[in-house]
Amino acid sequence: MPALVQKTPMPGLRLSAGITLTMLSIVVLLPIGALLLKGASFGPGNVWEVVNRERVWTALLLSFRLSVFAALFNLVFGVLLAWVLVRYDFPGRRLVDAAVDLPFALPTAVAGIALTTLYAPNGAFGQLAAQIGWKIAYTQWGILLALIFVGLPFVTRTVQPVIEEIDREVEEASATLGASRPHTLRHVILPMLTPAALTGFALALARAVGEYGSVIFIAGNIPLKTEIAPLLIVIQLEEFNYDAAAAIGIAMLLISFAMLLAINIIQIVSRRKMGHV
């Protein structure tokens, strides 16, 4: 196989490449291909007709807008969390470190029910919020909360190893050259973290867009108000309307693809900048 160039001394390249491609096809490419095929057989005109309705646009806008907010929140606090976990030593650090992965391990339905229990008007936190007239569960705040929860580990876990690799000498050099702490952070540390943080942001965003299990319990699911796009797909399936379900799925896929592409381009640009500095 001339296409496969062996760059490492490790044996078993063909075997591992074969396994990888097979798994990738079975798990990722075939389902997405089937979705697109379903859309193609339904016809682009029909797909557009299903998607181009007020209720679908409202749900898509809601899903993507809240996902971006949740991912931005996770971007800021994920980097902060990673920094604290790597640079500070405190009792229970290992425990907190392990706890970051919990949103991955917990079934999303459990997370959704737990969050709803806490933030419902009669829940522990919901009661406090209700006193200042703030409703969390069954509003868009609740959806945002669930999306932040499921996306939390991504930024932290992508940025953490990068922070571990940063030599303290770099910061010390910056300081001895007269840079203030904010200046060092802005011009030395953050540029190094940007590519990894953006990867984490993209992952958190992608996860939030497709999230169903946890959101459904806390959202309220009122059409035009708290109805997320994945729920519309489930509704179409309940009506045995596979074509319409695929149409909304394709719309989500295309929007996600465009957003991830944009993030990748930003990443490439920021990497180039790094190279020139």
Partner 1 sequence: MNGTPQRFLNLQITNRDQTDMKPHTTPTLRFPTVSLRAGISTLALAALALTALPGTLRAQELLNVSYDPTRELYREVNEAFAQKWQAEGHDVPGIETSHGGSGAQARAVIDGLGAQVVTLALASDIDKIAATGKLPADWQSKLPHNSSPYTSTIVFLVRKDNPKGIKDWGDLVKDGVEVITPNPKTSGGARWNYLAAWAWAEKNGQDPKAFVGELFTHVPVLDTGARGATTTFAQRGIGDVLLAWENEAYLALKEIGPDAFEIVVPSVSILAEPPVAVVEANIADDAQRALADAYLDFLYSPEGQALAFKHYYRAWDDSAAAPEDVARFPKLELVDIGHFGGWAKAQPEHFGDGGIFDQIFTAK
| Binds partner 1 by CB under 8 A, chosen from 29, 32, 80, 98 | 98
Q: Contact between 95 and partner 1 (CB under 8 A)?
A: no
To partner 1, the closest distance from the beta carbon of 109 in angstroms equals 10
* 246, 253 contact by CB (below 8 A): no
Closest CA to 171 of 189, 186, 195, 159: 189
Q: Which of 102/258 has CB closer to partner 1?
A: 102
- Identify the residue among 3, 5, 10, 277 touching partner 1 (CB under 8 A): 10
User: Residue 215 and residue 109: Cα distance in Å, rounded?
Assistant: 8
154 touches partner 1 (CB under 8 A): no
236 in contact with partner 1 (CB under 8 A): yes
Task: Using the minimum distance from each CB to partner 1, give the nearer residue, 12 or 133.
Answer: 12
Q: Which of 14, 55, 183, 187 binds partner 1 (CB under 8 A)?
A: 55
149 binds partner 1 (CB under 8 A): no
Give the residue with the Cβ less far from partner 1, 209 or 231.
231
Residue 121: closest CA among 109, 139, 108: 139
> Taking every pair of C-alpha atoms in the chain, what is the biggest distance, in angstroms?
69
Count CB-CB contacts under 10 A for residue 127.
13
Q: Nearer Cβ to partner 1, position 25 or 180?
A: 25
110 is a site residue for partner 1 (CB under 8 A): no
List all residues 6 or more positions away from 250 whose beta carbon is below 8 Å from its beta carbon: 35, 36, 39, 47
**Of positions 16, 25, 52, 180, contacts partner 1 by CB under 8 A:** 16
Burial class (CB in 10 A: 0-12, 13-18, 19+), 208: buried
Which residues are CB-neighbours of 102 under 8 A, at least 6 positions away? Answer: none
Residue 12 binds to partner 1 (criterion: CB under 8 A): yes
CB 220 within 8 A of CB 138: yes
Interaction site with partner 1 (CB under 8 A): 8-10, 12, 16, 19-20, 23, 53-55, 98, 101, 104-105, 116-117, 120-123, 137-138, 164, 216-217, 220-224, 231, 234-241, 244
